[in-house]
Chain A
Amino acid sequence: MTHSHSHRDPACLEVFARLSEYIDGELPGADCAGIESHVADCPPCVEFIRSLKRCVEVSKGFHSAEDCPPVPPEMEQKLRAAWQAALTRKR
């Protein structure tokens, strides 16, 4: 397979600009088919989309290494009191 188009072509730039919508399933079927047809013979584009999808998957499972501090007991009391006051206002 050969690299059949330039990534600077307007058509390619248009595809490039909508790849997240494509990955998120937010593009109409015809537009998806257009993207798939556009990249079908371009291994670098296929690899680019694969790495972008991979990046999104990793972000979706992300947990910071920074430890979350526990809620101090006095703060918990404040939170419970605030909740009770809010419920009282609601009734």
Chain B
Amino acid sequence: MEWARRLLAGDASAFTPFVESFQHRIFQYTWLMCGQREDAEEVSQDTLLKIFESFDQLQDPEKVKAWVFRIAKNYCLMKRRKSVFAPERELSLDELLPGAEGESTRTIQVPDSGELPDEQVLRSELSGELEQALRELPEIYRSVVLLRDVEGLSTAETAGVLDLSEDAVKQRLHRGRLALRKRLAAYLGSAGKELTP
């Protein structure tokens, strides 16, 4: 926000920090939304260019993050329209209930305190599983989870970015989270409770 405020005021020293603070976030979002590295690179560069081309339209630097992701979302949608994609499937609450069919009952073995767990390896494994789970999540849920949980936008900001009602954001977020929890159940059980992201 501070870098955006300074860029709006014409401070050139804020340019590099602004780009650095957003380029990874934009790339991560476009990568997880587009699914192909080549597409994600193109979309993230298009997004960055659009951000600077329309910087005069940023009304409130406090809302720069939602503004940036709205631009990224629009470019992801344009890219998606040009490609072949599978139809979206609604997730029902029934299939996400505790103990529902398909939930992994496997647990990840963490060594006892005598043999210190290699937490870095476990964190990396969990992060890799989460990335795969995010990529497999139907797009209507993935977009909400990425903006609300991964990027930390509020419900209202997410609704604004995605042109949804706040109730729809809450419903999709919940189903998306439940689907991720189900997919990662083996890592989120009591055996993995000491893991931190």
Interface residues of A (CB under 8 A from B): 7-8, 13, 16-21, 24, 26, 44-45, 47-48, 50-52, 54-66, 68-69, 71, 75-76, 78-80, 82-83, 85-87, 89-90
Contact = CB atoms under 8 A, between A and B. Distances in A.
Contacts of B188: 51, 54-55, 58
Contacts of B197: 57-58, 60-62
Interface string B93-132: 1000111000000000000000000000000101110110
Contact of A87 (B24, B45, B56): B56
Contact of A71 (B12, B48, B145): B48
A13 B188 CA distance: 22
A46 B10 CA distance: 52
Contacts of A48: 98
B73 interface: no
Contacts of A21: 170, 174
Contacts of B49: 75, 78-79, 82
Contact of B28 (A13, A16, A68, A78): A68
Contacts of A64: 28, 31-32, 131
Nearest to B25: A68
A51 to B, nearest CB: 4
B181 A55 contact: yes
Interface string B14-28: 010001000110011
A34 to B, nearest CB: 17
23 contacts: A7-B98, A18-B174, A20-B177, A26-B155, A26-B170, A50-B193, A52-B177, A56-B149, A57-B197, A58-B195, A58-B197, A59-B130, A59-B145, A62-B131, A62-B150, A63-B28, A65-B124, A66-B27, A83-B52, A85-B53, A86-B54, A87-B8, A87-B10
A87 B14 CA distance: 14
A7 B177 CA distance: 18
Given A66-B28, A75-B49, 6 more contacts: A26-B170, A54-B188, A58-B188, A62-B134, A65-B124, A66-B131
Nearest to B40: A66
B16 to A, nearest CB: 9
